[in-house]
Amino acid sequence: MAKEKIILTGDRPTGRLHIGHYVGSLRRRVELQNSGEFDKIFIMIADAQALTDNADNPEKVRQNIIEVALDYLSVGLDPEKSNLFIQSQISELTELTFFYNNLVTVQRLQRNPTVKAEIQMRGFNDDNAADNKAGIPVGFFCYPISQAADITAFNATVVPVGEDQEPMIEQTREIVRKFNSTYAPVLVEPEILLPDNASCLRLPGTDGKAKMSKSLGNCIYLSDDSETIREKVRGMYTDPGHLQVSDPGKVEGNTVFTYLDAFCKPEHFEKFASCFVGKKVSFSFASLDEMKAQYMAGGLGDVMCKNFLYAVLEDTLAPIRERRHRFEQDIPYVYEVLRRGTEAARAVASQTLAAVKRAMKINYFDPGVLDELIAEQSEKYR
């Protein structure tokens, strides 16, 4: 039998999901889901991982589980095809983590560039931090190991994530190899699947900063209403050197164009041609390349570009927003999806845990095993 193709991925529920999540991961998940190429798809709301640096605020995590679930459903993840579940309700994951902990060194964890950056960002190492943050929580430091449990519990072969998750997948692969060579070959080594469009690898914030992040206040959320999006696009960072409309403009590092790279489709130029009809000048573009060329040559103003970007974003986001509103009116359904998904996921994780314990020979009371164990140990004392 050919190896099953299984996807596992997920998000920490620390806020609503934004368009960076959408182009970096969600959009791809929906495509993969609808491709029919995968035997199973698991999408996890990683609340336990979210608690590794929010121990003092479980309420925030609790509130955001439903937000993330609504975002999932609104982008088109379909519970009939993708298993949506809540991490903390699967205790098998913590058991796996406990055994994997022994296969990873402190030094190896310290080398993880994503964890390093997060420690910096959260000020865990800052003795002068005003609150009690100084010091790295052990749980946070070790979350890459728990992430390996998430992935291997479901025998995932493919993990579609953003590039910041690359070190986690690498760590997972190392744990799998170490486990399989130390005990028995029961774990599956996953592959990472990165976004294929460079501007989607890491969508910058509306302020042009490298990353869209809640704490920087530079996000466009999937749940933002139309007027909010218009305002955010209006205030967006462009080319600070593009002072006069007639000046040549830069498209590199210009957030408006980075977003267009991520969202614009060829048909948008016909559909939203009116955005380029002005009082003084008008343009007609057939492609993003033509639009960029005009911007670089001068004459094409930021206002026109922003109006077009707003139309393009709305084209993608309006249907998502409408679907979200429908699911918001049926919260019992959303929790039922999560409850059922969690139950199904738990059944799979529990099989993996059983296989792991068998491989480690710590399944003392399994049927048949106890008899053998008794015979073996009795022999020793005969």
- Contacting residues toward ligand TRP, per CB under 6 A: 8-12, 46, 49, 147, 150-151, 159, 161, 165
Q: Which is nearer to ligand TRP, 85 or 295 (CB)?
A: 85
Question: Minimum distance between the CB of residue 159 and ligand TRP, rounded to whole angstroms?
Answer: 5
The minimum distance between CB 137 and ligand TRP, in angstroms, equals 15
Query: Do residues 176 and 189 make contact, with C-beta atoms less than 8 angstroms apart?
Result: yes
Q: Are 346 and 90 in contact (CB under 8 A)?
A: yes
User: Cα angle vertex 262, ends 261, 267, to 5°?
Assistant: 75
Taking the complex as a whole, how short is the minimal distance between the CB of residue 314 and ligand TRP, in angstroms? 26
Residue number with CB closer to ligand TRP (9 or 258)? 9
Question: Residue 368 Cβ, how far from ligand TRP at the closest point, in Å?
Answer: 34
Quick one: 20 or 79, whose CB is closer to ligand TRP?
20
Residue number, 6 or 300, with CB nearest to ligand TRP: 6
Q: What is the largest CA-CA distance in the chain?
A: 102
Distance of alpha carbon 75 from alpha carbon 24, whole angstroms = 13
Q: How far is the CB of 95 from ligand TRP (least distance, A)?
A: 16
Nearest-angstrom CA–CA distance, 299 and 281: 8
Residue in 277, 265, 335 with CA at minimum distance from that of residue 85? 335
- 279-310: burial string, b at 16+ Cβ within 10 Å, e else: eeeebebeebeebbebbbeeebbbebbbbbbb
Residue closest to ligand TRP (Cβ): 46
Closer to ligand TRP at the Cβ: 91 or 282? 91
Q: What distance lies between CA 322 and its chain's CA centroid?
A: 22
Minimum distance from CB of 135 to ligand TRP (Å)? 21
Task: Provide the token pair at 57.
Answer: 């605020």
Give the 3-state secondary structure of residue 112: coil
How distant, in Å, are the alpha carbons of 81, 83, 175, 327 from that of 4? 15, 16, 21, 32
**Nearer residue to ligand TRP within complex by CB, 139 or 299:** 139
Nearest CB to ligand TRP, comparing residues 12 and 232: 12
Neighbours of 108 (CB within 10 A): 14
At closest approach, how far in Å is the CB of 305 from ligand TRP?
A: 31
Beta carbon nearer to ligand TRP, 147 or 307: 147
Q: What share of the chain is helix, strand, coil (3-state, %, to 5)?
A: 55, 5, 35
Which neighbouring-strand residues pair with 159? 192
Q: How many Cα atoms are found within 13 Å in the side-chain-facing hemisphere of 281?
A: 11
In the complex, least distance from residue 182 CB atom to ligand TRP, rounded to whole angstroms: 23
DSSP letters, 167-204, are: HHHHHHHHHHHHHHHHT-S-SPPPEEE--SSHHHHTPP
CA pair distance 158, 172, nearest whole angstrom: 12
Shortest Cβ 44–ligand TRP spacing (Å): 6
User: 147 or 316, CB closer to ligand TRP?
Assistant: 147
Shortest distance (Å) from residue 309 CB to ligand TRP: 26
**Complete edge-to-edge strand list for the sheet that includes strand 6-11:** 83-86, 40-45, 6-11, 158-160, 191-193
Pick the closer one to ligand TRP by CB: 85 or 257: 85
